Amino acid sequence: MSAVSGKVALVTGGGRDIGRQISIKLAEAGAKVCINYCHGEASAKETLATIESAGGTAMLAQGDMTQAADVSKVVTACQQAFGNNIDILVNVTGGLVARKLLEDMDEAFWDTVMNLNIKSAFLVTKAVVPFMPAGSAIINFSSQAGRDGGGFGAIAYSTSKGAILSLTRGLAKELGPKGIRVNCISPGMINTSFHDTFTKPEIRRNVAGSVPLRREGEAADVANLALYLASDASAYITGASMEINGGAYFI
């Protein structure tokens, strides 16, 4: 039996790309998965259908994770479906929004990026922790950009992802005595719609050709790591950032 079998997982941004693969992987391992999505209903429904067709258990919960009222609604929906406890929280929600230089950014853009990447993780974690028993796990999402400043026009994004690293460490200290582990995953170049939208094809080819493993990562690679961090196989790991970048960046 899997180490996450029977546990309840909430995956924010769980309907597409990395979030989709994490939702599927957790369900394959026997978890009951609450898949949060904001706008991508069709994609979220595809994710749910994939899980259910394979015999897994999941449900959908729409909501904007930058809004406290929506967060509360999603947590309640998850509990109504699967019970009071939430054993696994994966904060995938986030994004670049747009590439902008400092001179092109206004206050509203800065706030949008910070809300999407760091406020969302704060709001969801605050709402879920009261329902997490000892042995639970939280997985946040930083980025290689949080380490190296990101690509051209990614100042706001990289700053917000650096904040996720600090949030993870602080939460690990605060929640450790309650038996809750908190870690984060910091992906490099992963083959997702993020880079389809924001990264030029020639840059992607150059990056893939320069990393030691000579390829982009896949969302399934990240999902495998998330499953490890969600399970008791990583029972003595907390406050860590797990880099997954094919050797592009070492810490």
Which tokens belong to 172?
């690990």
CA atoms of 143 and 238, how far apart (whole Å)? 17
CA atoms of 47 and 100, how far apart (whole Å)? 32
Nearest to 158 by CA among 101, 201, 217: 101
- SS3 of residue 120 by DSSP: helix
Across the strands, what pairs with 223? none
User: Which helix H or strand E contains 9, and what residues bound it?
Assistant: strand 8-12
Q: Which of 37, 157, 236, 249 is catalytic?
A: 157
Is 236 a known active-site residue? no
Nearest to 189 by CA among 143, 250, 251: 143
- Give catalytic residues, as residue numbers: 157
